[in-house]
């Protein structure tokens, strides 16, 4: 089977804009909220969403952080892991946290993300935003509140997310390996 394009160019831009408006619906002016991108790939999406929110709300004061989950993973010693930077310069105690990742698959990354986040305090509540939700493939009882697009896929397939910031173009592809 040929690789299948799931989202591309303007479509992806519209999806991200829609996600931003959904966030604003719930979080209003983001005074008590914060956005945290999961390293390595969730960070670029989180940055894009953060920028967009700032421009829609005409503010620069939306808390934004990056969280590395390497030390919290459950597949340590099953595969080789490279840690990334964690950068959270605000207090997450009692905040409404929006965790952002590109693809939701087994849910193990998010599980590790929840654990890693608790090292920075006790948030009031935590929501999950993903660009692509590979439904029916979950190993853990984890669901996203905001979803860019839900897709059906089989285990052996891969979802590749390319963003302007890193690859020079916006495109999500379903690969058959």
Partner 1 sequence: MSSLSVNHLLGIKYINKTDIELILDTAKNFKEVINRPIKKVPSLRDITVANLFFENSTRTKLSFELAQKRLSADIINFAASSSSVKKGETLIDTVNNILAMKVDMVVMRHSSPGAAVFLSKRVNAKIINAGDGAHEHPTQALLDAFSIQENLGTLKGKKVVIVGDILHSRVALSNIFCLQKMGAEVMVCGPLTLIPKHIESLGVKVELDLKKALEWCDVANMLRIQLERQDIKFFPSLREYTMLYGLNMEMLDKLSKRILIMHPGPINRGIEITSEVADSEQSIILDQVENGVAVRMAVMFLLAGRTSN
Which residues sit at the interface with partner 1, rule CB under 8 A?
68, 70-72, 76-86, 115-116, 118-121
Contacts of 101 (CB under 8 A, 6+ apart): 37, 38, 41, 42, 45, 109, 110, 113, 128, 129, 130
Closest approach, Cβ 34 to partner 1, in A, equals: 16
Chain centroid to CA 138 = 16
Closest approach, Cβ 77 to partner 1, in A, equals: 6
CB closer to partner 1, 58 vs 79: 79
* The residue count for the chain: 177
CB closer to partner 1, 88 vs 99: 88
CB closer to partner 1, 6 vs 92: 92
Contacts of 55 (CB under 8 A, 6+ apart): none
Closest approach, Cβ 158 to partner 1, in A, equals: 20
Closest approach, Cβ 40 to partner 1, in A, equals: 12
């Amino acid at each position: 089977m040929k690789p299948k394009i799931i989202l591309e160019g303007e479509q992806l831009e519209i999806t991200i804009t829609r996600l931003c408006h959904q966030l604003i619906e719930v979080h209003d002016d983001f005074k008590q909220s914060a956005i945290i991108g999961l390293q390595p790939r969730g960070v670029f999406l989180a940055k894009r969403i953060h920028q967009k929110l700032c421009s829609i709300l005409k503010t620069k004061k939306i808390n934004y952080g990056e969280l590395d989950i390497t030390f919290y993973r459950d597949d340590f010693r099953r595969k080789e892991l490279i840690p990334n930077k964690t950068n959270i310069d605000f207090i997450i105690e009692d905040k409404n946290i929006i965790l952002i990742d590109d693809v939701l698959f087994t849910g193990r990354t998010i599980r590790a993300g929840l654990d890693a986040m608790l090292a920075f305090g006790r948030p009031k509540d935590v929501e999950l935003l993903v660009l692509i939700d590979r439904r029916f493939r979950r190993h853990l009882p984890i669901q996203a509140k905001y979803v860019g697009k839900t897709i059906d896929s089989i285990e052996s397939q891969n979802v590749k997310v390319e963003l302007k910031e890193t690859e020079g173009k916006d495109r999500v592809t379903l690969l058959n390996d």
